[in-house]
Each structure stands twice: as structure tokens, then as C-alpha cells.
Structure 1
């Protein structure tokens, strides 16, 4: 990474408040790209050219001015970034007086170059992951071989292992991405990616931890935030990442819990993905009747299914007498034509409720 005009101007603006001597910053060609003396900008600096040739510091005394073009007494130091020459910093004045300030200036420039380099790398990698995930979740199909190659040779990761995907539906999802990444890394967990998706999703891909982590504990601060978190199953490879994502999305849509696990809604997932035409064909005679049920009967039916068709448990959960529950179930049978105590008919009722 080389010293640019824009970066040079920013550094001069920052350092000039602390260093009360003239400062010049030169690019790898020796041209002054930024200076406290605007009249010197864009000029070639002879001392800088000597530094570029030798990659060594160049001290210019009053007696040396005739040996170089466009120079004044002072110190010129090479600026390196990751082993390569990135430019030259020059401070005007008595060399003994400005040497320390010149060294501090060089250090500041090299630190700034590294920070910008890391920021650009992080931004570039984030864009690569965003593009990769977009292709992974293509609504029609994905090119698995291409995704594996991109992951291996561009993103430098091995996706041929088990993954678990989390989907967080949350406002300001772009801002939350970095915070969510920090929450996991603070617990020693390093996601494959944490990316924003669509209008309000954050997608997190975690390596298989064999249930050694408690996701709800790591993300406990989200309990106070308007967010829903779906957790997919553990699946293998790129195809597994895709499956786990859609499992997590289903888990969010099929429950009203803060944290929803796809493993807890397998039956609901199955019923929700029945062909709509077949579902309508089977249930059209019952749907209107169910819709006309009083609220208390629908609530009873929902609780009855949550309790796995156990009468005593349902009655206890609803704080009603067992006979009251039996009566309500009989009324549901009478009003809808489907008996919730008969397994096959209960399945149809469950599908209608979903």
C-alpha cells in the first residue's frame, strides 16, 4: 500500500497540530503529495528520490542543498508498509532538532497505512462473504461446486464440515452484525460468517460445537431487544448451510418464541410445506368451520396439541376442569367435523391451524 494524496492530507492535518515544524509527505516516485507548505505540493523532492533509491534515511544539511533539487535542510525518512516502500516523510529544520519528530511522524504514517489496509481487507472480505451467501441462498438453485471453489481459493476456508445456521430477525441489522460477531468471539466461538441479509436478517454460520455452547446464553442481551432468533439443525457442507438456513427461517415463522429451534418444530415444518393445492383439496370442507370457531375453542385446541393430546395435562395448563375440556373437545368435533382425539383427524386440524 502506497502513500496517497488523500491519506497524506489527512495525516498532515492531524500531525501539524502537534509538530511545529514544516512537514512533507512524498509518494514512492518522490512527488510531494501533502505538505504544511501548500506551495510545495506536486513538486519532485530530490532528497526523497535519494531515499527511494537507497531505502535509507537522508539527512540534508545547509551545505547539501546544492546537491539535490527542491530541498531544504532537514531529515527525510523512508516509510514502509509490510516490507515495501510506501513513501517518504520529510521534516524541515536542523536535523538534530527534527530527527525525533521525523521518527514519530514516520511511525504515525506507517500505523495509519496498516489500519487502512486492514479496514480495506475487512471490507473486501465482507463483500465477498455477502456475495457468497447471496449465491448460497439463491431462491431457485445454487452451484455447489462453484461455491466450494470460491470458499477454498478466494475466502480461504474449508466448508466441508458440519455447520449450524442462526437467523436473527432484527431492526438495524447492518449495525448488529459486528456486535453479534463480538458476542460469539468473546466466548471463543468463531463463526464462518456473520452477514446482513434481505431487509432485517442477520445470518450466522457456526461450526459444529457438539452442543458445547449455549446460544441463548451468548445472545442473552437480545432478550431486551425486539428480535427473533431461529436456529437450524447441524448440517454438512454448502448444501447443509443452505438447509440449516431455511430450517432456521421456518423456526422463526412457526413459533412466537424469542429463540426457536428447528428441531422443536419438525411436524409444523412438514405440514407448512405441504403442496398448497393438496392442502386446499383436503381441508376446504373444514377451513370455514374452523374459522367460525369461538376463540376459546381455538385456544383449547392449540393447548391440547402443545400438550401432545394429553387431556389431564391440557386441563391443568388451562386451569379448567377435566370435564370442561372434554366438553370443549366434543364441541370442536361437532362444529368442525374433525375429532381432535382421533390422531388422523387431529393432524388435519393441526394443518389448518398452521
Structure 2
């Protein structure tokens, strides 16, 4: 293992900011080259004392060498840096060796702690990157191309895709007070400690204030209870949040195999793009099933069948706003009047003209109501 030069210089600054002594500190790599120093002129030179420590596996070296063109040493103490029982470099503290031995040991300890921290950060980044890569494979339409690798990854992480799951998209509405990466850690920690969080749940932050949650369910939970469980899951999260952030969640259908996981994601993503969402709400594809069918698989067919009717409506603003608003108000005349700020007789007159010109009577005819709703959905798109 080698010490990265940028990391070494970053660590050196942290160390020197926290050591209240007038000493110079050098960090040398496994070849004895100074890669970070309080005296920048020494960077790039070979430190003889560090080389002696590395070659002879010494625990500490007191030295008093003289600088020249290729070798750089001053009186002080060198101590090897160990990570996982491997010497990865040397830290040197310049000064009277008898006086700075204690300081040198403190610097060594702090340097190793900081290096381990950087290693842990790198591991965490790698783990997060790997997790995101596999989640993207899981929710991809081309998931069938990655089944073998996904199954190996799932087995190594004790995940199963032979259980009921659904995909939820969670979007944070942040007022700009907080760093999103800190918020992501905060929220994931909260999620992992609320009721109905299971070991099989997979959560990741994907950037742009969005999270993907591949929620799992217990086999004992009835299908009619699973929507309630998800609602409770996100309501509990809202109750646990103690800082000024809000979120909304979009939930796809429940599936029980890997190959169908992308469908649940597509549905959650449809809700994300379709709904004029508001903070602190949870939305389910079951409540927007007709819109999803119309605007996805059935959009082209629906549009072609209703093309002539849609052309007439698009030329008549009164028809268009009445159909959309009546649909949004579940065919309630009074609510439609309130939304459009119109008298009841005006709306009734418009509905009469819609019946005469378009042949639609959604108030009294069940099939016309379905067609009316399909038209409204296409018009809104």
C-alpha cells in the first residue's frame, strides 16, 4: 500500500493545525521520498533517516544528517507508519531528538488514525459506488443481461429477490441549509431505525436529492396490508426527522422476482414525473393505474382511437378546461364550478354541448365516463 501525495499533504495540514508545538513535520513514502512537509522546499527529496527506518525495520530512528542535492535530513526523529502490519511510509519530526520523542509518537498516532480514516472513506465510496451500480442494474430494462452478477452480489450481501418487494423514489425538498450528503447519511440512519425497516431493504442515495428504496415485505404480511406498511414507513420517517427538511415518496407496484423489478421502478418514476407533488405526501401507482396505462403502453392506441375527438376539443378552450376540471373533481359539478369560478348553469350548458358535439355523457353513462377520463388524461399530458 502507498500513501497518495495529495492525501499526505491534506493530512499534514490537519496534523500541524492540531499540534501546538513549533516543529516541522515530514511524511515520507515507502521509498523514503518526502511527499509532504511543513517546509515545501524539502518535498521530492530523499530522507536518509526514513530510508534507514524502512530498510532496517526500525521502530524509531534518531538522526542528524546534513542536506545535500539528493538527500534531505535534519536533526529529529523518524517513526514508521503501519497500516495492517505493513510499513507504508515514515513520519519525521524535526528538532532535538531528546525533546521531541513524545511529540513524534503523538504525530505518528495521529497520522495513522487519519490515514485509516481516509482508507475507510475510500472503502465507503467504493461500497456506495458498487451498491449504486447494482441498483441501476436491478432497475434497468436490460436487467436480464445482469441476472448472474446481480445474484452473486445479492448472495454475498444476504439479499433475496424471491420475496415481495417494490421500488420507491424519495425526493428531498431542501431549503438549502444543509449539505445533501450529510442529509443522506442522516436520513438513511433514520430509515434503518424505524418500524418496518427490514434487513432485506436496500436503500441508496443517487444524487440530485433523490433516494431509491427497494422495500421488502415479510411473507406473513397480507397484500392488502402492504400499502399501509409503506405509508406507516414513510410517516414514521417524517415523525423522526428533527431538522427542517421535507420529502415526498413515489411507490411502484409490488413484485416478487428480479426480472420485474424494473417495472416497479418505471411506475415510481412515472409518478415522479406525472404528479404535481407536494411535500410530505406518499403516492402509490395503484391510485394512478389508469393514467399509467393510458400514458405508457396504451398511449399510442388511445390517441389514435380518439384523434378526431381530441382535435375538436383542442380547438375549443371551454371544452378542454371543462373536461380536465370535471375529471379532476370526480365529475362533481359543484366542485368544478368552484375550481373554474363559474356558475353551475355555465358548467351544465358546457356539458350539454359536449354531449351534443362529442357524443359523451359521462354523468349518466359508465362507458362514457371512462372514455371521458382517458381524454382528460391525454389532454393533461
* Bucket of the pairwise TM-score, normalised by the shorter protein: 0.7 to 0.9
* 1:202 matched to 2:210: yes
Q: Does the C-alpha gap of structure 1 residues 152 and 321 become closer, same or farther in structure 2, counting only changes over 3 Å?
A: same
- The answer as to whether partners of 2:141 and 2:262 remain within 8 angstroms in 1 is no
Q: 1:80–1:86: 8 Å Cα contact kept in structure 2?
A: yes
Conserved? CA contact 1:165–1:232, under 8 Å: yes
Aligned residues: 338
Candidates 361, 366, 381, aligned match of 1:339: 361
> Structure 2 matches for 1:158-197, cutoff 5 A?
158-160=159-161, 161=163, 162-166=165-169, 168=171, 176=180, 179-187=183-191, 188=193, 191-196=202-207
Structure 2 CA distance, aligned partners of 1:273 and 1:10? 52
Rounded Cα–Cα distance in structure 2 between residues aligned with 1:15 and 1:181: 26
Which residue, out of 226, 250, 266, partners 2:270? 250
8 Å contact kept, 2:294–2:302: no
Does residue 272 (structure 1) correspond to residue 295 (structure 2)? The answer is yes
1:130-169 correspondence to structure 2 within 5 Å: 130-138=132-140, 142-149=144-151, 151-152=153-154, 156=157, 158-160=159-161, 161=163, 162-166=165-169, 168=171
1:213 aligns with 2:233: yes
The worse-fitting range, judged by mean Cα deviation, of 175-184 and 96-105 is: 175-184
Contact 1:272 1:351 in 2 (8 A): no
TM-score under structure 2 normalisation?
A: 0.71
Conserved? CA contact 2:45–2:72, under 8 Å:
no
Measured in 2, the distance between the counterparts of 1:307 and 1:40 equals: 73
* Superposed displacement of residue 126, structure 1: 3.5
After superposition, the C-alpha distances for 1:172-210 in whole angstroms (9 at most, x for unaligned) are 99x7465345224235267522213xxx67342143373
The verdict on how the C-alpha distance between 1:232 and 1:44 changes in structure 2, with shifts beyond 3 A counting, is same
Which residue pairs with 1:230 in the alignment?
A: 250
- Tell me, in whole angstroms, the C-alpha distance in 2 between the residues paired with 1:214 and 1:10: 40
Give the deviation of 1:267 after TM superposition: 1.7
**Offset of residue 150 of structure 1:** 5.8
Task: Please give the alpha-carbon distance, in whole angstroms, between the structure 2 residues aligned to 1:201 and 1:51.
Answer: 47
> Retained in 2: the 8 A contact 1:26–1:87?
yes
Q: CA separation of 1:6/1:336 partners in 2, compared to 1, >3 Å: closer, same or farther? A: same
Partner of 1:66: none
Residue 21 (structure 1) aligns with? 23
Aligned to 1:115: 117
Where structure 1 has 5 or more consecutive residues not aligned to the other structure, the ranges are 63-68
Q: Tell me, in whole angstroms, the C-alpha distance in 2 between the residues paired with 1:99 and 1:191.
A: 49
Structure 2 Cα separation of the partners of residues 221 and 240 of structure 1 = 36
* Partner Cα separation in structure 2 for residue 139 and residue 169 of structure 1: 26
2:45 matched residue in structure 1 = 42
Alignment of 1:250-329 (within 5 A): 250-258=270-278, 259=281, 260-295=283-318, 297-309=319-331, 326-329=348-351
Corresponding residue SS for 1:186 = helix
Counterparts of 1:40 and 1:203, CA distance in 2: 43
Q: How far apart, in 1, do the equivalents of 2:330 and 2:323 lie?
A: 11
Query: Gaps spanning 5+ residues in structure 2: where?
Result: 65-70, 195-200, 218-228
User: Structure 1 6/286 Cα, relative in aligned 2: closer, same or farther at 3 Å?
Assistant: closer
- Give the corresponding residue for 2:99: 97
How far residue 120 of structure 1 moved from its aligned partner, in angstroms, is 2.0
Q: What is the TM-score normalised by the length of structure 1? A: 0.75
Partners of 1:71 and 1:253 in 2: how far apart?
A: 64
CA deviation vs aligned residue, 1:227-253 (integer Å, no higher than 9, x gap): 875332343454454222211122133
In structure 1, C-alpha distance between the alignment counterparts of 2:120 and 2:185, rounded to whole Å: 17
